Amino acid sequence: MSAEALERLVDRFSSEVVRTHAEHGDETVVLRGERLVEICSFLRTDLVCAFEMLSDLTAVDYLNVKSPRFEVVYHLYSLSRNHRLRLKVELEDGEPAVPSVMSVWKSANWMEREAWDLYGIRFEGHPDLRRILTYDEFQGHPLRKDYDMEHRQPRIPPREGQRHL
Amino acid sequence: MSSEKLLGQEAAVTTVKAAEGFFRRLLNKNETVQNAVNWGRRWSFFQYPFVTACCGMEYMATAGPRYDYARFGAELPRFSPRQADLLMVVGTISHKQAPVLRTVYEQMAEPKWVISFGVCASSGGFYRNYATVQGIDTIIPVDVYIPGCPPRPEAVLDAIMMLQEKVKEERRPLLPIVD
């Protein structure tokens, strides 16, 4: 569907593209992370690509399945041209980090916080990278495959202003 | 001011306090009074429904006309913990919510009782994961546990009757002893 957009992307940023594939008309491109913001703003502003909307941003943990361990996945949608594109950035274990795309799509804000909260992937340049689903005192990142299923979180004290006795 | 007069006043206060303590103890030991108070307490539970999940439907069914726990005197849910004496924890409690539940419990005045409604509240149920408290008895004391996912209204009525039996046998001081 978005073969044309994919072609333009590969032409322009050939050094950043690791590989591409398409399945049932769903184009996917695996990218290196360094120039991600530049690539994303091209995808948004280019008239052929015109991906105005970031419909999803998530992460995958491939522990003991493949290397590199983490993948951050971006699902883009063009409202004006009605086509979609999937971007992936592969990240090594350790302290995985990727540039934040909040400057391109504001909707990345909470989705990046979610990926940070549950997978511990840092989004560099994010203005407010706090946990979003769990709470500040939470230990670890629960959707990582090496998070112990039987691990129990310690009890937390009441928040400021929560206690009216 | 003479010192004799002061001593006289102090002696009077001590005598009155001693008399008061005597009557309080007498009242607290009095079986008839205890039984009367317990009768009043167990037939007029004012419950605070802390409803967080699907068990709430069964709670409503129990409160409705078909099962009607008003027959057991527990007909008035109070939506302020200050006015309630029976805390019903109905549903899953997450770690994030735990301090809130603890605060609600502490806001209730004595005497107070707790019913853990359904398996999620009692043990975490099938939410054996990082987000859920594995039983509210890790946060607050519980008097009666109701199993079931969700429990049938009959089970809830049974729990209320069990709690009534428990309250019937209670011997807690009716008046605080100040010595």
Give the model confidence (pLDDT) of B65-75 as tens digits.
999 988 998 88
Smallest Cβ distance to A158: which of B95, B103, B131? B103
Is residue A135 less than 8 Å (CB to CB) from chain B?
yes
In whole angstroms, what is the distance from residue A126 CA to residue A61 CA? 21
Are B99 and A152 inside 8 Å of each other by CB?
no
Instruction: Report CB contact under 8 Å: A164, B139.
Output: no
Are the Cβ atoms of A151 and B131 closer than 8 angstroms?
no
**pLDDT of res. B4:** 64
Can you tell me the mean pLDDT for B14-22? 83
- Which chain A residues have a beta carbon less than 8 Å from that of B81? none
ipTM (interface pTM): 0.76
Can you give the pLDDT at residue A154?
A: 84
- B110 in contact with A, Cβ within 8 Å: no
Q: What percent of chain B has pLDDT over 70?
A: 94
From chain B, the residues in CB contact with A131 under 8 A are none
Q: Does A149 contact B at CB distance below 8 Å?
A: yes
The nearest alpha carbon in chain A to B102 belongs to A158
Nearest residue of chain A to residue B109 (CA atoms): A165
Q: What is the pLDDT of residue A119?
A: 94
Percent of chain A with pLDDT over 70: 96
* pLDDT for position A90: 93
| Disruptive mutation site among B94, B102, B130, B140 for chain A (greatest number of A CBs within 10 Å) | B130
Mean pLDDT of A17-39: 89
pLDDT at B28 over 80: no
Q: Closest partner residue to A156 among B98, B106, B107, by Cβ? A: B98
Query: What does the pLDDT look like over A60-99, one tens digit per residue?
Result: 999 999 889 999 999 999 999 999 999 999 999 888 999 9
Q: How confident is the model at residue B17 (pLDDT cuts 50, 70, 90)?
A: confident
The confidence score (pLDDT) of residue B30 equals 78
Q: Does position A161 have pLDDT exceeding 80, yes or no?
A: no
The residue to which tokens 């594995």 are assigned: B134
Split at pLDDT 50, 70, 90, the class of B5 is low
Q: Which of residues 111-140 of B touch A (CB under 8 A)?
A: 128-131, 134, 138-139
B53 touches chain A (CB under 8 A): no
Burial class (CB in 10 A: 0-12, 13-18, 19+), B141: exposed
Coil vs helix vs strand at B9: helix
pLDDT at B113: 94
Tell whether the model's pLDDT for residue A37 goes beyond 70. Answer: yes
Q: Is B97 on the interface with A (CB under 8 A)?
A: no
pLDDT, residue B3, reads: 60
* pTM of the predicted structure, to 2 decimals: 0.80
Nearest CA-CA partner of A157 in B132, B102, B82, B136: B102
Residue-wise pLDDT for B105-155, tens only, equals 999 988 899 999 999 999 988 998 899 999 999 999 999 999 999 999 999
Checking if the pLDDT of B168 tops 80, the result is: yes
Chain B residues closer than 8 Å to A153 by CB: 95, 130
Confidence of residue B176 (pLDDT cuts 50, 70, 90): low
Cβ density class B10-49: b for 16+ within 10 Å, e for less: eeeeeeeeeeeeeebeeebeeeeebeebbeebbeebbbbb
Whether A117 shows a pLDDT value over 70: the answer reads yes
